[in-house]
């Protein structure tokens, strides 16, 4: 595997990655290396990671609790206080070692500490490898509203070592798969077909292609003015569903991928009603997704709460929800207004 | 008065400023105008401001409690929640109407809300006119540590209307004067001499020149790699002293200007001991400052706590405090290491 050159930083996949990381640290002469982990990545990933880091700099580990529920400003305050107490300064670097919560929150923490210190992303879940660790988005949730507070900020390097995937369970792998499906449907249908046919999947190749696509999209439109909005496909309704399960104390949370998988089925359905997206492709997407994920029936009594959460989507303007929909695979249309009844109908279609 | 062109935005002083503001709002077609105030600026400045704003856009006022003690992340969370509840979206704009707390905190809040909305600064105190509202620094305190969390982010416009100064008391005016003294000592001794001689001071001219200097410095070095560090003159020890009074429940707080005025006397003293800064100029600075500010004697028993706070200064690297000192007026030296005893001696000199 080779290196993908993102806007201001490299994404390394090859076997020399750790050497490149050590070289970067030596070159930048950091004062202290902070490593942000959660209890899982500290137990399972840190012991694999640390022997590969060749440096004589001081290393300090900061652990936060795992889970989307902890991806908030209060956790950031804890990390900022920890870095402060451990003598962090402007020449410190923060290495994020974990899934999307760690990379999103860590990037935000680093970018705001003393008006910005360097950070390096080492994603350890499929989701963070293919999505969260590249593209310059950092952030945390505000209450249950996803990524409401954050910044565009680029890491100095991303290191993708797929051997960390041995440390995560199947449900996590499936969560990341949803983002690969999204790249397939919106940008490269070959990738979707590979997953749909599910024969001899080469995970490393899928990850590489996913990062390549995300990078192409982000390079063309870093600030999400137009093209980049395709990365939100499935996420508009998906985020609202994810937030709804997050705030419902008597329901188990969905993973991010499970929620946006539902979102993609619904948004394909909307596309078929409002645009010319073919009905048989809606069925194909639904079938593929239902074959991968345990089906979560959305209760009718919950539709109102989900619709309310939709109103906080970051793409909204003047209270109007803006969907990214599809004319066909690889052919999107931005800023689609969808009548409320059709959104509800799409959830009923998913349930059916 | 004319307009100063900062890096990506104008700083308006002239009588057409409000028209320019209304034009900017119309041109950018904002969805909602949020105005951030505290209880003082809501009472005294908002009634002067709002008749000047010609717009048909929705206006929402968000009020926070005044005072440095509230310049923290918890207040930001309150503002983010308020903007969210009031339906803020990415096309919203935040106008900050207030002193340094409002402009620093408001810029940070705007820059992180949904990964960044526009903001416009309307400083209402002398300090925020000459310092906080220009230069792209935003941020809040972490505990008592000043501006520990923040970003470089530029407003869309700064509007300086000196008639707001009628709403602030003399102590606030003096607080801002300290920053003008700093520009004088480090960059333009004529400006210092005007204040020292204190004859027929034309406050509008002083403000204009101060902003002009700050803008020159920031344009040459936006990210504080070298030249911009002169703006920290007096602030290294000054911030530690300010933080110390902030955390001491049995002592009255100092204003920012009072604290950095002490810091400037002390750092001039250090400059005379470590560099060739003339002794008579140390005396001249001390005399000028003592003539303006009520003298606060620093107690010996407090020196240790102040020294501890110094260790968190943002310019520190590897635990080493870095001072900006002076060879002479308008002639600075960066990254000066100062022995602990000399820092203490400088505080004793100020006391004497």
Third-level CATH fold of B3-167? Rossmann fold (3.40.50)
Closest residue by Cα to residue A80 from A112, A57, A107, A103 = A112
Alpha carbons B282 and B271: distance in angstroms, whole number: 9
- Hey, are the CB atoms on B90 and A315 less than 8 Å from each other? yes
Alpha carbons A351 and A50: distance in angstroms, whole number: 46
| Residue of B31, B316, B317 lying closest to A317 (CB–CB) | B31
Strands of the B3-5 sheet, one edge to the other: B3-5, B10-12, B157-159, B118-123, B93-98, B32-38, B58-64
- Hey, are the CB atoms on A317 and B115 less than 8 Å from each other? no
B81 contact A CB<8A: yes
The CA distance from A32 to the nearest CA of chain B, in Å, is 8
The CA distance from B281 to the nearest CA of chain A, in Å, is 33
Alpha carbons A346 and A323: distance in angstroms, whole number: 13
- Class of domain B170-201+222-351 as given by CATH: mainly alpha
Instruction: Look at residue A208 and tell me whether its pLDDT is greater than 90.
Output: yes
A116 contact B CB<8A: yes
Q: Taking CB atoms and an 8 Å cutoff, what residues of chain A touch B80? A: 142, 148-149
In this prediction, residue B91 carries a pLDDT of: 95
A80 contact B CB<8A: yes
A1 pLDDT band, cuts 50/70/90, is low
The CA distance from A335 to the nearest CA of chain B, in Å, is 14
Interface test with B, best of A139, A149, A231, A335 (most B CBs within 10 A): A149
The CA distance from B337 to the nearest CA of chain A, in Å, is 16
For A307-344, the pLDDT digits (tens) are 999 988 777 777 788 899 999 999 999 999 999 999 99
Q: Taking CB atoms and an 8 Å cutoff, what residues of chain B touch A31? A: 317-318
Chain A residue with Cα closest to B114: A148
What are the pLDDT tens digits along chain B (352 aa)? 688 888 789 999 877 899 999 999 999 999 999 999 999 999 999 999 999 999 999 999 999 999 989 999 999 999 999 999 999 999 999 999 999 999 999 999 999 999 999 999 999 999 999 987 788 899 999 998 889 999 999 999 999 999 999 999 999 999 999 999 999 999 999 999 999 998 778 899 999 999 999 999 999 998 888 999 999 999 999 999 999 999 999 999 999 999 999 999 999 999 999 999 999 999 999 999 999 999 999 999 999 999 999 988 777 777 788 899 999 999 999 999 999 999 999 999 999 9
Q: Which comes out higher in pLDDT, residue A167 or A15?
A: A167
- Hey, are the CB atoms on A149 and B113 less than 8 Å from each other? yes
In this prediction, residue A320 carries a pLDDT of: 81
In this prediction, residue A256 carries a pLDDT of: 93
Instruction: Look at residue A277 and tell me whether its pLDDT is greater than 70.
Output: yes
Alpha carbons B310 and B77: distance in angstroms, whole number: 28
- Hey, are the CB atoms on A151 and B314 less than 8 Å from each other? no
Which residues lie closer than 8 Å to B331 by C-beta, 6 or more apart?
Answer: none
Domain layout of chain B by residue ranges:
3-167, 170-201+222-351
For A280-315, the pLDDT digits (tens) are 999 999 999 999 998 999 999 999 999 999 988 777
Alpha carbons A23 and A26: distance in angstroms, whole number: 5
Question: CATH number for the A171-201+223-351 domain, one of 2.60.40.1260, 1.20.1090.10, 2.60.40.10, 3.20.20.80?
Answer: 1.20.1090.10
Question: Which ipTM value was assigned to this complex?
Answer: 0.90
Closest residue by Cα to residue A231 from A177, A266, A187 = A187
In this prediction, residue A274 carries a pLDDT of: 97
The CA distance from A268 to the nearest CA of chain B, in Å, is 25
- CB of B267 closer than 8 Å to CB of B234: yes
In this prediction, residue B313 carries a pLDDT of: 78
Interface test with A, best of B108, B148, B239 (most A CBs within 10 A): B148
- Hey, are the CB atoms on B148 and A111 less than 8 Å from each other? no
CA A261 to chain CA centroid, Å, is 13
Closest residue by Cα to residue B239 from B126, B132, B147 = B147
In this prediction, residue B230 carries a pLDDT of: 95
End-to-end CA distance of chain B: 42
């Amino acid at each position: 595997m080779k290196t993908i050159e993102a806007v201001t930083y490299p994404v390394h996949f090859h076997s020399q990655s750790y050497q490149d990381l050590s070289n970067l640290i030596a070159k930048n002469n950091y004062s202290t290396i902070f490593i942000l982990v959660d209890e899982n990545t500290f137990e399972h990933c840190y012991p694999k990671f640390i022997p590969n880091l060749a440096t004589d700099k001081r290393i300090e580990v900061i652990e936060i609790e795992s889970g989307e529920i902890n991806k908030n400003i209060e956790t950031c305050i804890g990390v900022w206080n920890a870095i402060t107490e451990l003598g962090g300064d402007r020449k410190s670097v923060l290495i994020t070692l974990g899934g999307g919560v760690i990379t999103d929150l860590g990037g935000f923490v680093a970018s705001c500490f003393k008006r910005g210190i360097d950070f390096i992303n080492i994603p350890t879940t499929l989701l963070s490898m293919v999505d969260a660790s590249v593209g310059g988005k950092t952030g945390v949730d505000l209450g249950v509203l996803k990524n409401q507070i954050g910044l565009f900020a680029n890491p100095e390097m991303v290191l993708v070592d797929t051997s960390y995937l041995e440390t995560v369970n199947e449900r996590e792998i499936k969560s990341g798969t949803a983002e690969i499906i999204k790249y397939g449907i919106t940008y490269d249908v070959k990738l979707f077909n590979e997953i749909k046919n599910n024969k001899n999947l080469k995970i490393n190749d899928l990850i590489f292609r996913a990062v390549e696509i995300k990078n192409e999209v982000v390079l063309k439109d870093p600030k999400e003015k137009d093209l980049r909005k395709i990365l939100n496909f499935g996420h508009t309704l998906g985020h609202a569903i994810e937030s709804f399960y997050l705030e419902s104390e008597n329901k188990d949370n969905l993973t991010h991928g499970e929620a946006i998988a539902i979102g993609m089925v619904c948004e394909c359905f909307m596309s078929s009603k409002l645009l010319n997206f073919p009905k048989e492709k809606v069925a194909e997407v639904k079938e593929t997704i239902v074959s991968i994920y345990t089906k979560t029936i959305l209760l009718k009594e919950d539709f109102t709460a989900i619709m309310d959460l939709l109103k906080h989507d970051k793409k909204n303007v003047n209270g109007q929800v803006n969907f990214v929909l599809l004319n066909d695979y690889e052919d999107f249309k931005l800023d689609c207004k969808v009548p409320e009844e059709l959104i509800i109908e799409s959830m009923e279609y998913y349930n059916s």
